[in-house]
Structures are given as C-alpha cells and as structure tokens.
C-alpha cells in the first residue's frame, strides 16, 4: 500500500490531478498495487479556506505520506497578499524546504509527433531528450531578503545568494549518477565568470568530475546555455544547475517539447518525493477543461519510478502517453491541423484506457 498525498491546489490544478490519479488507478487495475489518496488544501485554495497557503495539516499529511502529487498553485486573486501568505512563497517554497527536496528533475523529451507543436524548427528539436537537474532548496530563493530606505527617498532591496560546498556536492553527485544511467554526459551550468557562488560551484564540479571519469563533464555559462538550448539542444544529455538558473532554463527547455504542458517534474532527495507538472495554475484557462493533463500524468510516472521503484509501471504510463500522441490526439495547447482535439478529461480517460490495453 502506497500512501499518496493529493494536493490539487489552484486553477487548472484541480482539473489535472484527477487525470493523473486515473492513470495511477489504471496501474492498480493492471498490477494490483494499492494507492491510497488523501486530498489536502494548498495554495490560494488553502488561504481562502483556513487563512494560510500551507496549513499545518497539509504539511503533516505530506510528511507521513509515501509521495505527494501536486497540481499547481497561485493566481491573480492572491497576488496582492503579504509576501509570506502568497501561494508561491508561503506554500511551495516552504514545502520544498521542509521536506528537504533539493533535487528537482525535469525531463525535457520531445515525444514523437510533437515536432510541429513547438515554435522551434523541427530539425533543431528532433531527438531532444534532456534531463535537467535543478538545485531546489538553496540559492536566491531561500537567501535572506531585505529592504531599506535610501537617502534619496528611494529604497534598496537585497536578496542574498549563497551556496555551500555540501549543497553543491549533493546535487552534482545526483546529476552524475543520473548521467551514468543515460548517455554519460553532464553539463554543469553556472555564471562563474561573474558570480562567486558560481565559482565555488564550478570548483566543486571539477573536483567531483575526478570520481566520475566515465562521464564527460562540460561547463557552460548560463547565458550561453540559454542560447545553446535553442541553437542545438540535442548536444545536451544531463544539465545540472543552481535553483534560479534551473527555473529559467527549464521554462525555455519546455518549448523544445512542444508545450510546457508536457513538462513533468520530480522533487526528491528527502524522505518523501513531490511530483508536479513544471507549469503553473494557468488561471486564463482554468475551469474550461482545456488544460493538458499529460505533464501531471508523466509526473505520476516519475513517482512510480523514483519513490516506489516501479520501473515497469512507470514506463507503461510513458508508453501510454506516447501512444495517444502518436495516434494524433492532442489537447488545445498542442493543436495542429488534422489532429483530434480532446479536453482534459477525455485525454485522461484515453491515457488510462491505454494503460489497461497496451
Ligand atoms: C517552478 C515555478 C516555481 C519556481 C514558482 C511557482 C515559485 O516557477 O516550479 O518552476 O520558481 O520554482
Ligand atoms: Mg518555473
């Protein structure tokens, strides 16, 4: 029996999480594993109900679960709240930190058939299969923040950026281990020509590289990486980088896969793993059944792989997604002429049926 905390959150979160649960239930039907889902409030929905975006009960539930399935949080309704009560800063970041989820895996894969869904030329993105490892509990996101008044009547704002050897080492080792299971290529992304934390980052990577002689290590400045990702993305196998660079580069890399609606993520490294799509709550399309549930369904596959060690089951979900796309079914974010457009629920149903029939 696997205990899963289900946190739909806000906006399209409440539409896509049930579709991932459908996929997991299909896995139960096929393999007999038992998944027990307990739903809890997070984000704006939690603020509206109990006055805080990360209620104690939600955190407690997460801590005693075997894995967490999260939809998305935030929206314009909560943007004017004091910073500590906003869904992002008040719920998502503390959840990552409290659970020790320092390793964020974002696989950017171009599924067959989606070559035309991207704004980038087909010949450039053909064959894209990149794993980005983003450090998730350090850096600017968690550094001390302050404001002060200046003599000229303005203000000065400060965010501290710091990384310790320990924090860098553990994520980079993680990335090396991941590279060993793939094509043995690791690209470490930093800004070592300017930033001190990046210089330490690079030193640590150069040191660790000696332990992984079988993996080809390269270093790239983040600005160059942003360019290389759209110039020649197939050069990358595994990318490892710090928190904020990883945030920015993975939104960019999502476009290599056709839509950010395809980008799954796993946040691990602590006692319990957190699985969520890399996209946000998309308030503009919420409640219209237009959301693409595939990133969340693929995140459920990552849960099976990384939290429960159920490789066959994880691969089956991925194969079901591939099959549905190859057969020409699309959600509105992926639409091209000649393809059959499904709504969120229809897409979830179809993937679940493939899990049972493939
Ligand atoms: C992500 C998101 C979050 C982040 C936001 C919602 C705080 O953009 O998971 O990439 O910046 O980490
Ligand atoms: Mg982001």
Q: Within this chain, do residues 150 and 54 fall inside the same structural domain, yes or no?
A: no
The pLDDT value given to residue 324: 97
Q: What is the DSSP string of 128-156?
A: -EEEEEEE-SSGGGTS-EEEEE-TTS-EE
Q: Are 17 and 96 contained in the same domain?
A: yes
Residues 202 and 248 in one domain: yes
| DSSP 8-state class, residue 41 | -
Ligand closest to Cα of 282 equals 1
Write out the two tokens for 133.
């490892």
- For residue 20, the model assigns a pLDDT of 98
Same domain membership, residue 271 and residue 174: no
Q: How far is the CA of 247 from the centre of ligand 1 (A)?
A: 6
pLDDT class for 335, splitting at 50, 70, 90? confident
Q: How confident is the model at residue 117 (pLDDT cuts 50, 70, 90)?
A: confident
131 plus 218 within the same structural domain: yes
Residue 112 belongs to some domain of the structure:
no
Residue 61 is predicted with a pLDDT of 98
Is 108 a domain residue? no
Q: What is the pLDDT of residues 248-281, one digit of tens each?
A: 999 999 999 988 999 999 999 999 999 999 999 9
Confirm whether 223 is a catalytic residue: yes
Let me know whether 173 and 124 are in one domain. Answer: yes
Measuring from each residue's beta carbon to the nearest atom of ligand 1, which residues come in under 6 Å? 88, 92, 247, 278, 280
- Tell me whether residue 114 is in a domain: no
List, in sequence order, every beta strand (DSSP E) within the chain.
Answer: 2-9, 35-39, 67-72, 103-109, 129-135, 145-149, 155-159, 185-190, 216-221, 238-241, 266-268, 273-275, 329-330, 340-341
Phi/psi of residue 125, nearest 5 degrees: -95, -10
What residues make up the domain containing 167? Answer: 119-257
Residues 118-177: tens digit of each pLDDT: 899 999 999 999 999 999 999 999 999 999 999 999 999 999 999 999 999 999 999 999
- The mean pLDDT of 202-215, rounded to a whole number, is 98
Nearest CA residue ID for atom 4, ligand 1? 247
Do residues 123 and 253 both lie within one domain? yes
Token pair for residue 253? 């890399």
Residue 113 has pLDDT above 90, yes or no: no
Contact 21, 69 (CB under 8 A): yes
Question: Is 190 noted as a catalytic residue in this protein?
Answer: no
Spell out the residues 6+ positions from residue 219 whose beta carbon is closer than 8 angstroms to its own: 187, 188, 189, 190, 192, 202, 205, 206
DSSP type of residue 115: T
- Locate 146 and state its tokens: 């302050």
CB atoms within 10 A of CB 144: 8
Give me ligand 1 centre to Cα 338, in Å: 34
Tell me which residue has its CA closest to atom 9 in ligand 1: 278
Q: Please write the tens of the pLDDT for every residue from 283-292.
A: 999 999 999 9
Residue 145 lies in a domain: yes
Q: Which of residues 257, 290, 310 is at a domain's end?
A: 257
H or E element that contains 350: helix 344-357
Q: Does pLDDT of 58 surpass 90?
A: yes
Mean pLDDT of the chain: 97
Ligand 1 midpoint to CA 63 (Å): 21
Q: Which one of the ligands is nearest to 92 CA?
A: 1
Task: Give yes or no for residue 245 having a pLDDT over 90.
Answer: yes
Q: Which of 10, 176, 191, 212 is catalytic?
A: 191
CATH of the domain at 151: 3.40.718.10
| Separation of alpha carbons 89 and 291, rounded Å | 24
Q: What is the pLDDT of residues 98-111, one digit of tens each?
A: 999 999 999 999 99
Residues 34 and 63 in one domain: yes
| Residues 241 and 268 both lie in one domain | no
Whether 85 is covered by a domain: the verdict is yes
pLDDT, one tens digit per residue, over 165-195 is 999 999 999 999 999 999 999 999 999 999 9
The per-residue pLDDT for 163 is 98
Q: Is the residue at 58 inside a domain?
A: yes
Residues 25 and 352 sit within 8 Å (Cβ to Cβ):
yes
Q: Is residue 106 part of a domain?
A: no
pLDDT attached to residue 112? 86
Asked if residue 339 and residue 251 are part of one domain, the reply reads: no
Is the pLDDT at 337 greater than 90? The verdict is no
Residue 169 and residue 267: Cα distance in Å, rounded? 17
Annotated catalytic residue, options 247, 329, 333, 354: 247
The whole-number pLDDT of residue 336 equals 81
With a cut of 90, say whether residue 47 has pLDDT above it: yes
Atom of ligand 1 nearest to the CA of 265: 9
From CA 63, how far away is CA 59, in angstroms rounded?
6
Last-in-domain residue among 198, 222, 257: 257
Domain count, the chain: 2
Q: Is position 109 within any domain?
A: no
For residues 246 and 290, membership in a common domain is answered with no
In this structure, the answer to whether residues 232 and 137 fall within a common structural domain is yes
Residues 81-95: tens digit of each pLDDT: 999 999 999 999 999
Domain boundary among 216, 234, 257: 257
247 labelled catalytic = yes
């Amino acid at each position: 029996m696997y205990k899963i905390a289900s946190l739909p959150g806000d906006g399209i979160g409440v539409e896509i999480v049930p579709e991932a649960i459908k996929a997991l239930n299909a896995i139960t039907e096929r393999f007999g594993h038992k998944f027990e889902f307990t739903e809890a409030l997070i984000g704006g929905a939690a603020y509206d109900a109990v006055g805080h975006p990360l209620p104690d009960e939600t955190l407690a539930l997460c801590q005693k679960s075997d894995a967490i399935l999260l939809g998305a949080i935030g929206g314009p309704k909560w943007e004017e709240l004091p910073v500590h009560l906003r869904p992002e800063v008040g719920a998502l970041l503390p959840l990552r930190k409290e659970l020790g989820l320092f390793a964020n895996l974002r696989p950017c894969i171009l599924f067959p058939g989606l070559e035309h869904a991207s704004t980038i030329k087909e010949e450039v993105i053909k064959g894209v299969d990149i794993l980005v490892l983003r450090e998730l509990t350090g850096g600017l996101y968690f550094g001390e923040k302050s404001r002060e008044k200046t003599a000229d009547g303005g203000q000065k704002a400060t965010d501290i950026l710091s990384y310790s050897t320990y924090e860098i080492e553990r994520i980079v080792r993680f990335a090396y281990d991941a590279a060993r299971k793939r094509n043995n290529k690791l690209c470490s992304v930093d800004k070592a020509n300017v930033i001190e934390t990046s210089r330490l980052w690079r030193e640590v990577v150069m040191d660790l590289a000696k332990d992984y002689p079988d993996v080809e290590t390269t270093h790239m400045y983040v600005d160059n990486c942003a360019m290389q990702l759209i110039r020649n993305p197939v050069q990358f196998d595994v990318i490892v980088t710090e928190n904020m660079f990883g945030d920015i580069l993975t939104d960019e890399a999502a476009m290599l896969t056709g839509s950010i609606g395809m980008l799954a993520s796993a946040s691990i490294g602590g006692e319990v793993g957190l699985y969520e799509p890399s996209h946000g709550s998309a308030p503009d399309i919420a409640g219209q059944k237009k959301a693409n549930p595939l990133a969340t369904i693929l995140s459920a596959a990552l849960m099976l792989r990384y939290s429960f060690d159920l490789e066959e089951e994880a691969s089956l979900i991925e194969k079901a997604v591939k099959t549905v796309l190859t057969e020409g079914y699309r959600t509105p974010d992926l639409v091209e002429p000649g393809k059959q457009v499904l709504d969120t629920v229809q897409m979830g149903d179809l993937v679940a049926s493939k899990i049972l029939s493939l």
